[in-house]
A and B are shown apart, each in its own frame.
Chain A
Amino acid sequence: MTINTLSQDGVQRQQMSCLTKMERMVISMQDPDMGIKLRNQRLLITVIPHAMTGADIVEWLIKKCSISDEEALHIGQIFVKYGYIYPLKEPRNLILKVDDSPYRFQMPYYWMSTRWPASELDYAIYLAKKNIRKQGELIEYEKECYNALHKRINHTWDFVVMQAREQLRASKQRRKADRIVLKCQEQAYWLVNRPPVSAELYKLITLTKNTLAMLIQCSLNAKCAIKYIYVKYCEQYQPHDPIMQGCLPSIPWITDDIMFWNMNCETVAVPTKLRVERWSFSFMELLNDPMGRKEFLTYLKKEFSAENLCFWQACEDVRHGETSKIPEKVDEVYKQFLTPGASRWVNIDSKTMEKTLEGLKRPHRFVLDDAQMHIYFLMKKDSYPRYLKSDLYKNLFARAIVPQETKKR
């Protein structure tokens, strides 16, 4: 079933109020006494009634609304533009001429409607009908639309062909005058709702499309640093992606086996190889994993720089914690880490220290940001690379296990 927005929304969508006003005016134009004077349109043997001239329309508008010539012409143009009235002599030229060029009213079914917008399926059926009638001689723009629709709604194309044929057969049942009127009306409806693009504009559009395609091709060939970074990232993380690579022992959602989560939880004795490998991708990965953080802390204790990580953790706590506890937390941090001679004094440069001490007078969530950032980069540049080269890390990596794949039940 296609996603049919009409069946749910069609009743709730409102008709635009300007369109409702135009509809009311068109209905008042039909008044036999006060409405527009209608004449017959004479084709060679057929006579079709209910035609009016542009001059008649403008005259009626002037009389009915008591407005000037210019305004009446403008309003008349709007009626033609929105398809309530269509020209008979030059159907593709949707303008109102104040002379004896003939116009006719459009069927209520074909009135512009925000509740029932013109659908692609209907357009496809119309083009198919036109194709049959003209034996394949559609204009350039219509041919393009036809091919595009054939690709887009290909799954209902059989229906389009069947329905086009049946609709033509049904219209054959009417007499000739009505058939001509029907054809003109449908054509006018689609000229309003799918206006054709002029030949020059069309050439311009195809030219633009081609140049764009060429540019994209060029940029793909050029050495684009961003592209490489992205590709590197994807390659690095691919073995870690359960969707791309699968996960060992097994995906819990499929096999109902929660070993995967158990093996990767915080307090496990021996981590998995993939997990340990991931810590080497970036410093943030190490810090995000609680076990990684613990291991790093152990290493830093050996190096006598554990206070850095503790400070960083305390700052994170201030940033993400409760607002009411911020002043006391900040105070704690100051006492433990920032006071000269504190037990866990952190080495921050003097400028940042001054700024932080200044900010401590009025503590808020982000007052320790600068200091935290300083310590973070210190750890990242200094301790982190050394940790990755350390025996602690290498031993852990050697000890790490690769879980065995469990069979699906």
Chain B
Amino acid sequence: MGKDECKTMLDALNKVTACYRHLVIALGSTSDSQNLREELKKTRKKAQELAVANRTKLTALLKDKSISKDDRAEYERLWVLFTSSMELLDVDMKRSLEIGQDFPLKVPTRHLIQTGMTGSTTTVAARAMSVQNMKYEADANIDTVDLKELETEIAQVDQMMEEMEMKVQVAPWAVEAKQEAGAELKSTVSVGNSSVGVISICEEEPKETVEGETGLMKVFAGIIFTVVLLIAGILGYLVINL
């Protein structure tokens, strides 16, 4: 059905937007590299494909005059989700252009900000592209070449958003969200699925590193204690038997 298809596509776009933001944050820091630039390019292209697909589907659904009022309200809600996603993507693309220009990679005295992040972002990009492993095949000067493409893509996205604003008459303030405050504490899997399962989304992060450390220390102490007890027990047994 049209609605379910829409929802899965929106989920995918949402996922790619989140991953793209994650990658853009890493720009200019010590985790910036050729690979990151290529990952950004690929994620961006994927995001754009999904955006165009979503837009065509949603505009077709909204143009249909013969849908019921409930259906229309639902499609308007999905439309607001879509436009919010596009806005985030737009801002992130513009920021990645700005930061990419400020921090070129192939410069003799390159000064990337040493922020403490040194790992690679391959897994994030792989999640965005829905592949197991990323393949890197770009040439060495991707950071400058890509920026020009990025400019044209930003212009395209801006134009698309303007068209959307003109052609589709949806009042975003009239849409009521389905989720209430605190809804993120119950976890659901996707936009459409409203099953309330208690799937843990993220592992328990130590609230502050100090607390986490004391917790770990307790665990270690416990392990060492039991090991010592075991050794004592075994030695005692051997002494008695020998």
- Which A residues have a C-beta under 8 Å from some C-beta of B? 1-2, 4, 6-7, 10-11, 26-28, 30-31, 35, 38, 41, 43-45, 48-51, 104-110, 115-116, 119, 121, 128, 131-136, 146-147, 150, 154-159, 161-175, 177-183, 185
The answer to whether A7 and B161 have CB atoms under 8 Å apart is yes
Our pick among A35, A43, A166 for the contact of B213 (Cβ within 8 Å) is A43
Please list 26 pairs of residues, one from A and one from B, whose beta carbons are closer than 8 Å in the complex, sorted by A's number: A1-B164, A2-B87, A2-B172, A11-B94, A27-B113, A30-B112, A44-B216, A49-B114, A50-B30, A105-B116, A107-B115, A121-B84, A155-B175, A157-B177, A158-B81, A159-B80, A161-B179, A166-B14, A169-B18, A169-B201, A169-B202, A170-B19, A173-B123, A178-B31, A181-B115, A183-B205
Q: Is the interface of B mostly helix, strand, loop or mixed?
A: helix
Instruction: Specify which chain B residues have a CB less than 8 angstroms from the CB of A48 in the assembled complex.
Output: 116
With A109-B27, A133-B202 known as contacts, the answer to whether A158 contacts B179 (CB < 8 A) is yes
* Most chain B beta-carbon contacts within 10 A, residue among A115, A146, A154, A173: A173
Q: Is B102 interfacial (CB 8 A cutoff)?
A: yes
A161 to B80, CA, bound (A): 14
Q: Is B42 interfacial (CB 8 A cutoff)?
A: no
With A159-B81, A178-B31 known as contacts, the answer to whether A104 contacts B184 (CB < 8 A) is no
Our pick among B18, B81, B94, B165 for the contact of A167 (Cβ within 8 Å) is B18
Our pick among B24, B115, B177 for the contact of A156 (Cβ within 8 Å) is B177
For residue A370, give the distance in angstroms from its CB to the closest CB of chain B.
Answer: 54
Q: Is the interface of A mostly helix, strand, loop or mixed?
A: helix
A158 to B197, CA, bound (A): 18
Q: Is B41 interfacial (CB 8 A cutoff)?
A: no
A158 to B178, CA, bound (A): 7
For residue B177, give the distance in angstroms from its CB to the closest CB of chain A.
Answer: 4
Instruction: Specify which chain A residues have a CB less than 8 angstroms from the CB of B85 in the assembled complex.
Output: 159, 163
Instruction: Specify which chain A residues have a CB less than 8 angstroms from the CB of B172 in the assembled complex.
Output: 1-2, 155-156
The answer to whether A108 and B27 have CB atoms under 8 Å apart is yes
- Which B residues have a C-beta under 8 Å from some C-beta of A? 11, 14-15, 17-19, 21-22, 24-31, 77, 80-81, 83-85, 87-88, 90-91, 94-95, 98-99, 102-103, 109, 111-119, 121, 123-124, 126-128, 158, 161, 164-165, 170, 172-185, 187, 191, 201-203, 205, 207, 209, 212-213, 216-217
A105 to B181, CA, bound (A): 34
* Most chain B beta-carbon contacts within 10 A, residue among A121, A159, A175, A185: A159
* Most chain B beta-carbon contacts within 10 A, residue among A10, A104, A121, A162: A162
- Excluding A136-B185, A174-B121, 9 further A-B contacts by CB distance (< 8 Å) are A7-B158, A116-B91, A135-B185, A150-B180, A155-B172, A163-B85, A165-B187, A170-B19, A173-B127
